[in-house]
């Protein structure tokens, strides 16, 4: 499945903060898919549906999710850090912690991806490997639960209050360009 953002069914690039929140729902969804497939298929051959689900979720985290991180680290956080508002200054530590979370999530997604690709190649999950994957996924779920709550509940509302309409528009323009090969 090709995951596209900014289509008419969802928020547009004119509403970048809403788009970023939509991405969070996709992160939660595809993480749940990974957890479910690993739980259901451990020690067995994949069904057709499980194989498709695993492939789609791995592809999402490999191709689409990194752009979301770039949207935040390269487009949103720098503008918030430059914003003169006291609230934005108070959020500096939060943004540093969120960037550390991105790095940790990335270090978990890499082995998850290579293990997943290996399983797709051989058509099954060995029980021992499934248990290790479950541990990585549990850590990711805990990380994302806290991380997405802070972004949805604190950082995006803060951006909505402190960034100018021009700055928010610029975030959307960069997000769009990032998905059309200009960045």
Where do contacts with Fe ion occur on this chain (CB under 5 A)?
72, 151
How near is the Cβ of 144 to Fe ion at its closest, in Å? 9
Q: Which of 151, 174 has the CB closer to Fe ion?
A: 151
How near is the Cβ of 30 to Fe ion at its closest, in Å? 14
Q: Which of 34, 37 has the CB closer to Fe ion?
A: 34
Spatial neighbors of 176 by CB under 8 A, at least 6 apart, are 6, 13
Q: Give backbone dihedrals phi and psi of 42, rounded to 5 degrees, phi first.
A: -60, 130
Q: Which of 29, 52 has the CB closer to Fe ion?
A: 29
How near is the Cβ of 89 to Fe ion at its closest, in Å? 20
Distances (CA, A) of 144 to 31, 57, 68, 149, 151: 9, 15, 13, 8, 10
Task: Write down the residue that tokens 């200009």 correspond to.
Answer: 182
């Amino acid at each position: 499945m090709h995951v596209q953002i900014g289509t008419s069914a969802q928020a547009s690039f004119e509403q970048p903060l809403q788009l970023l929140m939509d991405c969070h729902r996709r992160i939660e969804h595809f993480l749940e898919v990974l957890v479910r497939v690993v739980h259901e298929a451990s020690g067995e051959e994949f069904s057709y549906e499980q194989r498709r689900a695993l492939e789609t979720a791995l592809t999402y985290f490999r191709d689409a999710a990194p752009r979301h991180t770039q949207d935040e680290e390269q487009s949103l956080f720098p503008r918030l850090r430059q914003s003169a508002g006291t609230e934005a200054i108070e959020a500096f530590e939060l943004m540093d912690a969120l960037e550390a979370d991105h790095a940790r999530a990335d270090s978990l997604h890499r082995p998850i991806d290579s293990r997943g690709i290996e399983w797709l190649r051989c058509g099954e999950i060995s029980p021992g490997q499934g248990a290790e994957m479950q541990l990585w996924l549990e850590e990711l779920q805990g990380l994302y639960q806290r991380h997405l709550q802070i972004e949805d509940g604190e950082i995006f509302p803060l951006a909505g209050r402190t960034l100018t309409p021009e700055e928010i528009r610029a975030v959307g323009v960069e997000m769009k360009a990032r998905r059309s090969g200009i960045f």
